[in-house]
Amino acid sequence: MTAVPSPFSVAGKRVLVTGASSGLGRATAIALAANGAVVVACGRDRERLDATRSAMAGDGHALALGDLTTDEAMDATVEVAGKVDGVVHCAGISVPTPLRLAKREYVEAVMRTNYIAPMMLTQRLLAKSRVAKGGSILFLASSAAFRGVAGTAIYGASKGALVAAVRSVALETAKHGIRVNCLAPDLVETPLIETSGTLQGSGDWLEMQRKLHPLGLGKPEDVANSAMFFLSDASRWITGTTLLMDGGIIF
C-alpha cells in the first residue's frame, strides 16, 4: 500500500526564518530542518547564526546575515531567500520599560524592529512574488497584545499591531492561496526570560509565573511545533487569525 503524505508534513518546503540566531527563531529553524524543510535562516549575529546552522539537520540550507531594520538587509534577505513556501517572522526585541521612563528612541526602536521590519520584509517578498501559491506567512506576536503587564505598553502595542495587520494582509493574499497568521505566546523559557521580571524586583518572580500557568511556562519547541502546523498544508483553511499560547494562565 502506498503511504499517503501527511498534511502536517513540512518536508521539502523552503522556509525563511528571521531571528534564527537565538530563542524562538533558532528553535523554529532547527525544528523545521529536523522535519525535512529547507531553511533560510536570518539573523544579525554571525557567530550565533553559524551555531544555529550547525544544529540544523539536512542540506541545502542558506544563511542571511543582516539587521532587518535596514533596507539593505531586507533586500539582501529577499535575494538569498528566493522563492519560499513559508515565512516565520521571529526577529524582535523585548525590553520592559515603564511608559513614564520611555524615550522616543526606545519607542521607535521597538516599533521599527517588532512591526515595521517584518511588515516591510513581507511587502518586499509579496511585491517580488517570492511567496509560492499556497504558502504561509507567520508572524510572532505575543500575549502582551491581549493582556496588560506593567512595563510592556510599547512592546504590547508593537505586537498588537501585528495581530491587527494580519487580518488585512490575509485578505490581500487570499487570491494567491497564501495564508497569513500570528502566534501569540506568553512566557517561554528562553535565555531572555529573566528580563521580563526586571520591573518586579523579586527573585521569586519567575517561580510565581510558573504557578500562574496551569500547564507551566512554554518551551521554545512548543512555539516551533505550532509554527510547523501553520506552515504545513494541515492549516490550509486558516488565515487572518492569531493563536494565543499561554498555558492556561490565570489572570
Closest CA to 30 of 1, 67, 58, 4: 58
Element (H, E) at 133: strand 131-140
Q: Which amino acid is at 84?
A: V
Q: Which residues are catalytic?
A: 155
Q: Can you read off the three cell numbers belonging to residue 156?
A: 504590547
What residues form DSSP beta bridges with 242? 182
Instruction: Give SS3 for 40.
Output: strand
Question: Grid coordinates 499556497 are at which residue?
Answer: 134
| End-to-end Cα, the chain, rounded Å | 51
Closest CA to 23 of 92, 111, 73: 92
Task: Please answer whether residues 22 and 191 qualify as being in contact, where contact means their C-beta atoms are separated by less than 8 angstroms.
Answer: yes
Sign of CA dihedral 233, 238, 239, 241: negative
For 221, phi and psi rounded to 5 degrees? -65, -30
Closest CA to 33 of 220, 182, 228, 184: 228
Residue 8: partners with Cβ closer than 8 Å, 6 or more residues away: 228, 229, 232, 233, 234
